[in-house]
Each structure stands twice: as C-alpha cells, then as structure tokens.
Amino acid sequence: MLEPDGRQSLRRRLLAFLLVPLMAMLFIESLITYTGALVYSNSVHDRDLAGSAETVAQMMQKEGLDGPISEQARFLLQYDPEGHNNINYFSIVSQRHGLLAGSDKLTPPSGLGLSINGEPKLFDIMLDRRRLRAAGMIIDSIHEEGDQLTITVAETLRDRRQRAKEILLLSIPAQALLIAAVFVLVWFGVRIGLRQLDPLTARLARREHDLAPIGDADVPVEILPLTRTIDGLFARLRGMLALQERFIADAAHQLRTPLAGLRVHVERAQSDPTPETVKDALQHILRLTQRATRTSGQLLALTRAQSPDHDDGAHALIDLARLVPDLLTLRVHEALAAGVDLGYEGPPQPVWIDGDRTTLQELLDNLIDNSLRYAGRRSEVTVGVSSDAKGAMLSVEDNGPGVPAAFLARLGERFFRVPGSNEEGTGLGLAIVQRIAERHHARVRYVAGSEGGLRVEILFPPARTTKKDGDA
C-alpha cells in the first residue's frame, strides 16, 4: 500500500493483509451458517412431514374412506399453516382398489422397505419436474380385512430454503459487526505496536557521526534482523573510515620526508644555479621522486589489501605450479640487473589453491622485491612451491645477510625496517604480503634460511572450489 507521496506504508500493508482474510472468514462463516440452518430446517420439516403422514393414518383408521375424500379434508392435507406458499401433496393407495385419493404419481419407491403399521419413512421424489420431500407408511384397512393402505405425504423444498435464508440474514449483521470490531481492534493494535519503534527512532535521530552499534536494548524482536544488518553496515563503514584515516596518516608520515627533501634541493638549486649544483640537486630530486612514487604505490596496495570490500567469493582454483613460473619470467631481467640469481623449485604436477590471480601476483612481487633489495649482489633467491595433505606452500628464500632472530616476529608490521639496514624502503612490502595472505586464509611464517638468509613461507589451506583458473 502506498502513502499519498508514493511511499509504501507498513501499517496499510498489514491492515490490508488482515482485511482480506477477515472478509474471507465472513464469506466462509456465511456458508457454514447457511448449511447449518438448512440442515436444521430440513430436520424440523422432516419431523412435521412424518407427523402429517401419521395424522392421515390416524384419520383413516378412525373414519375410513368409503368414497372420494371431502374438500375439507383435502384442504387440510394441502394447507400450509406457516403461510410460506409451500405446496403439499398426498396420496392414499389401497392394495386392492388402487388410488383412493390424491396424486397417482406420488408413490414410494419399491426398495424403501416400508413396514406395516410402522414408523413413517422419508424419501426424495421428483414430481412434475419438482423435487419433493416425502414421508410414506403402510397401515391395515379397518373396512376390509386383508387390505392395506399406503399413505404418502410430500412437500416442496421452498419453505426449507426460505427458513435457512432467514437464519442467514439474521446472522450476517452480527458476524459483520464482530469482524468490524476485530478489524478496529487490529488497527489500534498495529498503530500502538508501531509506536514501539519511536524510542529507537528518537535514539538514532540524536546521532550525528556516531557509527556505534544500535544494540538490542529497546529493539523489538521482529526488527532485530534489520537492526543487526544496520549494525553490520555500521561496522563496515567504521572499517572503511578507519582505513581512510590510516591511509591519510600513513601517506603524511611516509611522504613528509621525500617532500621535505625535494624542497631542500629545489631551494639549493635556486640559491646556487651553477651547473654542478643544479645537476646534483636534480639527481637527488629524481631519487626522492622515485621514493615518493614507490611509497604512494605501496600505500595504495596496502589499502587495497586491507579493504573490507574484498570479495572472497571471487576466488578461483589456481595452479601455483603454473602461475609462479609464469610470474617469475617477468622478473628475470630485473634480477639480472640487480646481480641476483633468481630460480624456481616446484613439482611437475599441479598445486591447487583457492585464490585471486591479481593479488597473488602482488604478493609474489613484494616478496621478490624484498629479496632483491636486501639480499645484495651475487646472492641467490629461490622461489619454491610444494604441497601436502595440509595444503600448499609458497616460499621465497635468499642467502643474503638475513634478519636477526629477535626481529623475525616483527616482520610484516607496517613501516617496520630492520635496524642497521642501509637499503631504502617503505617498510610496507611484507605488510602487504601479510594482508594478502590473510585474504586467502593463509599463514605467513618468517624463518632463517638454510644458508643464513631469510625464508618467507606462505601456507595455504586445501583448495575448496571446483572452478579452475582460466575456465569459462
């Protein structure tokens, strides 16, 4: 149901849903009332009809029938005392002499089983295309020994139906009034019931920027699913706002130093415009610009990895033994330029995991960047893939200087860099790896390499999906 402004009204919808069943109940109740009234009317008329047959039998036993029935007796037999234009029929048939009075078509069926001098039996019969209700009985004739008289009295069904209609018309107003009263009570009940939402509405109206959960304190049970859904939305909004604030704070923290350096070198070039000074300042500006670009890219990557809008349902079945070598070929030239021997170790058979190809590439790139940056020239970096019953493992190991055991637990924290490292970095690469691994329900483990360097292991759970990477 719509309000005048076109909006749906819960109150009107509830009342409409209740009004239709109530009207249906009135119709069904009317049918039941009419059926019951007709049954009662039939029962009363059947008793009267049987009584009329017994009256005629008593009259015949007392007075007999020597000739045609008198007009007075015929009037009494066909008279309707209730005045409802009910048409009555009768017949008196002698076993020996045939029809004595009444209609010759009003004959009880042969299989009715009438007993001599017994109780009248009721039956239905058609006469002149009219359905009649009749009562028949057999008595001994008092004027002629051995003769028997069959007495039948019948009437139309008009009066029975008229009585049932009268009872129905008497009951409908009372039933309609009762249903109207119920509807009014329901209307007030719905109106008062919806007022229970007023405290919750007022509490939410007093909020400005508060995204705290609504809670269940004054919330009716029926709308708990709605408020809990809103609480979930608030939680996602809080996460997104916290992520935005963290990104702004991280960007300000990480870009402050390069921007300050850029300003210093620009001012130095302006104050001393000699070619040597300008060239040196431009070299520093280029390096600081590259650092700022890398930092902003890493911040964006970390923000994407932490985004609550990530859809785990988009994961597909990916073969690590096929994906990792393909990605490593893209980094060979960079490894050669850095003087690093980049290699791969993995099984020939597929190693399946549930994952997202794009973020897995970003994870592997950050691990390789970390090894190329800190392992040093003439070092070796080995990327490995393996699997067992517990799942799959992706590892990146180098034989560089490694990380002291005291700092292994802190790897993966944002902006953490191992003290004493001379290489420039943002401290975000392993943090991005950590978040992407969490998106894949994987664990990250940092251990010392077999040759003294650092070994990073990503432990993936067994694959669950059935759609293979690259399938339509």
For 131-145, b/e burial (b = at least 16 CB within 10 A) is ebbbbbbbbebeeee
Three-class SS state of 128:
coil
CATH domain 312-460 topology: Heat Shock Protein 90 (3.30.565)
* Contact (CB, 8 A) for 450 and 317: no
**Among residues 115, 137, 132, 121, which one has the least CA distance to residue 59?**
137
> What CA–CA distance (Å, rounded) separates 385 from 319?
10
Cα 297 to Cα 162, 222, 290, 309, 424: the distances in Å are: 92, 47, 10, 19, 15
CATH domain 221-306 topology: Helix Hairpins (1.10.287)
Q: Which CATH number does 11-165 carry?
A: 3.30.450
Q: What residues of the chain score a pLDDT lower than 50?
A: 1-2, 67, 81-85, 313, 466-472
Supply 20's token pair: 């239709």
Full-prediction pTM beyond 0.75? no
- What's the pLDDT score for residue 253? 58
Q: Where are the domains of the chain?
A: 11-165, 221-306, 312-460
**DSSP-based helix, strand, coil % in the chain, nearest 5:** 55, 20, 30
One DSSP character per residue, 293-356 reads HHHHHHHHHHHHHH-TT--GGG-EEEEHHHHHHHHHGGGHHHHHHTTEEEEEE--SS--EEEE-
> What CA–CA distance (Å, rounded) separates 189 from 178?
16
Q: Tell which phi-psi region holds residue 150, choosing left (phi > 0), alpha (psi between -120 and 50) or beta.
A: beta
pLDDT single digits (tens) 218-253: 677 777 787 888 888 877 777 767 756 666 666 665
User: How many other C-beta atoms can be found within 10 angstroms of the C-beta atom of residue 367?
Assistant: 24
**Among residues 242, 213, 210, which one has the least CA distance to residue 230?**
213
Q: In what order do the strands lie in the sheet with 130-140?
A: 98-102, 88-94, 148-156, 130-140, 121-127
Cβ-based neighbours of 62, under 8 Å, separated by 6 or more: none
- What's the pLDDT score for residue 232? 82
- What's the pLDDT score for residue 394? 93
User: How many other C-beta atoms can be found within 10 angstroms of the C-beta atom of residue 19?
Assistant: 14
